[in-house]
């Protein structure tokens, strides 16, 4: 039987900083919300004050999970120790599988203006944690726009809406990553796989679910069901994200996410010994 997902809990983002002092709001990965399996962390960075972002994210390692960067405004260049390099511009996305290990940097390529984007960390199952690092990179033209009605368009980074598939593919977690952009008040219904964990984070204006309003810096964890019914109130924007839970033990510290403490220790030893 078809069932509409309801709000289980509303969480508020926590102001913090990361990298070399980048100011951001952490939505997942806080004391209130340590994780939403398979999602480990979600950060929102948005500022037109260069001092909040200019120092960027210099070289740092990752192992055992994936990072997803989605840009709304600004320019960020990434490089890694394997020789990969690319520029993330407004409307672009990058899905990086750190796998067995990668050392990379993400640095602003602008001295002023608005820098605005999101970074999501997605766990990998034990069988894939030591896979070879890889990237899936999409420019603005690579991400399809799905017109849900005359007032709301969805940019589909990953997953499926109707007959349209997003460019990202990850069989382990089967992610859905949708940027909902409303030009005015409207209602919309979106199918979400029954098996998935799902959340909505509003970044502009107001959306509501079943009469409960959600505003920027609020994240709504959604309960069981196979569809989400949303109402936008005027001009608004939100990310709808879902993924299949992995349901495995997690041992994590800083940039490494493994299954056991022994694997976590090995990750640090490998990094310090130059074995990435």
Task: Give the CATH number for residue 19.
Answer: 2.60.120.10
Q: What is the pTM of this model?
A: 0.96
Structure confidence at residue 130 as a pLDDT band (50, 70, 90)? very high
pLDDT, residue 201, reads 98
Number of domains in the chain: 1
Q: Nearest Cα to 234, choosing from 151, 125, 116, 148?
A: 151
Considering the chain, what percentage of its residues have pLDDT values greater than 90?
97
Q: Is residue 238 part of a domain?
A: yes
Q: Is residue 76 part of a domain?
A: yes
Q: Is the dihedral of CA 117, 37, 172, 81 positive or negative?
A: positive
Q: Nearest Cα to 258, choosing from 103, 99, 144, 146?
A: 99
Count of CB atoms situated within 10 Å of the CB of 242: 27
pLDDT, residue 231, reads 98
Q: Is residue 1 part of a domain?
A: no
* Average pLDDT rounded to a whole number, residues 164-173: 95
Task: For residue 251, give its domain range.
Answer: 7-272
Structure confidence at residue 2 as a pLDDT band (50, 70, 90)? confident
Q: Is residue 223 part of a domain?
A: yes
pLDDT, residue 179, reads 98
Average pLDDT of every residue of the chain: 96
Q: How far apart are CA 94 and CA 180, in angstroms?
A: 18
């Amino acid at each position: 039987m078809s069932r509409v997902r309801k709000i289980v809990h509303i969480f508020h983002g926590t102001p913090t900083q990361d990298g070399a002092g980048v100011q951001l709001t952490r939505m997942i990965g806080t004391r209130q919300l340590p994780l939403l399996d398979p999602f480990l962390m979600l950060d929102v960075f948005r500022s037109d004050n260069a001092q909040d972002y200019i120092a960027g994210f210099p070289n740092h390692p990752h192992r055992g999970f994936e990072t997803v960067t989605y840009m709304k405004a600004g320019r960020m260049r990434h490089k890694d120790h394997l020789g990969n390099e690319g520029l993330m511009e407004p409307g672009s996305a990058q899905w990086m599988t750190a796998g067995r290990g990668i050392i990379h940097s993400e640095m602003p390529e602008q001295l002023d203006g608005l820098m605005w984007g999101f970074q999501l960390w997605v766990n990998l199952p034990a069988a894939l944690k030591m896979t070879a690092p890889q990237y899936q990179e999409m420019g603005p033209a690579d991400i399809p726009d799905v017109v849900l009605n005359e007032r709301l368009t969805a940019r589909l980074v990953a997953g499926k809406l109707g007959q349209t598939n997003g460019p990202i593919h990850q069989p382990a977690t089967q992610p859905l990553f949708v940027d909902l952009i409303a030009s005015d008040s409207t209602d919309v219904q979106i199918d979400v796989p029954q098996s998935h964990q799902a959340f909505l984070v509003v970044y502009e204006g107001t959306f509501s679910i079943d009469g409960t309003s959600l505003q920027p810096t609020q994240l709504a964890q959604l309960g069981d069901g196979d569809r989400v019914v949303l109402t936008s109130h005027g001009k608004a924007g939100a990310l709808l994200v879902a993924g299949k839970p992995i349901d495995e033990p997690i041992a994590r510290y800083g940039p490494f996410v493994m299954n056991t403490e022994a694997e976590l220790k090995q990750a640090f030893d490998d990094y310090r010994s130059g074995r990435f």
